[in-house]
Amino acid sequence: MEVTIMNEPDRSTERRQSPRVKTSIPVRYRELRDGAETVSVGSVTCDVSTGGLRFRVNEFISTARRLMLELDIPTLTKPIKAVCTVAWIQEANGEGKFRYRVGSQFTEITQTDRKLIEKYLNGL
């Protein structure tokens, strides 16, 4: 099986509506599959925005895959939960123990949680 790794979008053609802020926040993710239960995996973010986040993984996750994320923002007592779609994946090349970087876009997140992310990022 051949694996295709997508490159991160070129910043000059980027369509991102909210800027990402570099920050390392613990995040857990699990794949959403019809009828199949998957195990949560721990990771750390590279950057976060109100529209999505980039994080590191060891396993290849195909683009368009839906994930359930739990983001542990340090100033909050409960994790922020959101469903996201994998927009791209690329090899991490020398970023510690992780093999890939994943860019994701939130597809299901409450307005309250989006505002909590925005408040945290504005305080950095």
Tens of pLDDT, residue by residue over 32-47, are 987 666 789 999 999 9
Superfamily of domain 18-122: predicted glycosyltransferase like domains (2.40.10.220)
Q: Report the predicted TM-score, pTM, of the whole model to 2 decimal places.
A: 0.81
Phi, psi of 94 (to 5 degrees): 80, 25
The ranges assigned to domains in the chain are 18-122
Tens of pLDDT, residue by residue over 64-87, are 999 999 999 999 999 999 999 999
* Cβ-defined contacts of 37-46 (< 8 Å, 24+): 40/70, 43/98, 45/71, 46/22, 46/101
Per the CB < 8 A criterion, the answer to whether 53 and 104 are in contact is yes
pLDDT of residue 97: 84
**CA dist., res. 97 & res. 93, Å (int):** 10
Place of tokens 């991490």: 92
Residue 109 has pLDDT above 70, yes or no: yes
